[in-house]
Structure formats: C-alpha cells, structure tokens
A = this chain, B = another copy of it.
C-alpha cells in the first residue's frame, strides 16, 4: 500500500525528508526526477519543485540541471539568524530598554576600519560609542563609525535619545552588509563600560552595511558576559 494523500508541497517535503532519514534514499544517491515524483505523488510537478527547492535551500539536497537531484553527501546545515534592532531584541525578552550615548566626535579611523568603510585615507568619519541597557544593566557596548559621504543627513541627527542603530535603520535605506561573529577579551575600557572584569571573554558582532555601492557604517557590538545568540535548524 502507498502513503495516504500527498497533495501539498509541505507534505511532499515531509515525505522526501522521511525517505532521506530512513536511508531509503542514501547520501550521494540520485533521487527520481520531478516528473516521476509528481506522477508517484499524484500532484503537479510545480508542487514537487517547490518542495525539493525548499530542501535544497536547507542543504539536504543538491540539485543541478541535467544531473538531477541528489541527497547531499555532507549536509551543510543552514541556520538563519534574526538580526533585529537592539532595542527590539531587548524588549522582545521582556526587559526594559535603556540607552546611553557615551561619545560623539569626528576622527580618522584606524587602518582596518578605513579598509572596511572603503574611504579615502585621512578622511574623518563620525565616531560614536554607546551603551545599551537591559533592565538597567549593561547589555552591549556599541562602537560605530559612520561614513558622512554616504549619509550626510547623519550630521543633524541627535543620538542622545535615539540610538544610531535605530536612527540609521529608519532613515538610511541600505541594501546589504557583512556580519562576522567572534570573541574578544575585555580590556579596561570594556570592563568599565560593561561592568565586568578585564579578561572576561565577550561575544562580538562586527557588522558593515552598504547601499548603492557606498559603505554606510561599520559597527562593533561587544556583548556583556553571558550573552547568547540562539537559533535552530
């Protein structure tokens, strides 16, 4: 006897997943073509396509024209991370959000920052440091450089009340960016600001965003000890 009714693309997806897990279709093996599966499941090829495309995006299948669809040999799992505005991340946890602007000045950034911002050597940029608080306790230390050439309106923004994070998101449209996750050792500065001890390991996010070919801002977020970024696959 055959399986019950497989009509929706989600049920096709589940059935295919089941066959992969049960090793009915083994890693590296080519599975039947879309048309054949459509016939077997009694649905349209587009439905099968939608399901298989989904599994390919998840890393479970490798698909190539003419070559067909294979079960991934090394299932490179894809995990999607949500990168919300910090205020919303904190409020989403049910905590009270707080924000303090620590410094604001124009300065010529260090070489590595200049490289990330792709600016001319010696060009001064807007430099901000700030602290985000959750229930009054230090949550993350923000160290940001903003390219005024790409976002001139920033000069008139008042970052005392609204964080640059939020101001930029709502005022400067951006296309894309890079993110890197790493760790650093807290120095005196971070220890002081984040109310931890020098030498503590801190979780760090470096993010650079751009639009229309211009780099807008680059920021380093150093989180207080205990911070965890969580997701699943």
CB distance from A45 to the nearest CB of B (A): 14
User: Which residues of A, 69-115, contact B by the 8 Å Cβ criterion?
Assistant: 74-85, 88
Interface size on A, residues (CB 8 A): 53
Which one of A19-27, A32-40, A120-128, A137-145 is at the B interface? A19-27
Do residues A201 and B185 form an inter-chain contact, with CB atoms below 8 A? yes
A85 / chain B contacts, CB cutoff of 8 Å: 74
- Indicate with 1 or 0, residue by residue over A40-74, a CB within 8 angstroms of chain B CB atoms: 00000000000000000001000000000000001
A83 to B74, CA, bound (A): 10
CB distance from A225 to the nearest CB of B (A): 8
A203 / chain B contacts, CB cutoff of 8 Å: 181-183, 203
CB closest chain-B residue, reference A87:
B74
CB distance from A224 to the nearest CB of B (A): 10
Q: A169-B75, A211-B21 are in contact. Are A202 and B179 (CB under 8 A)?
A: no
A160 / chain B contacts, CB cutoff of 8 Å: none
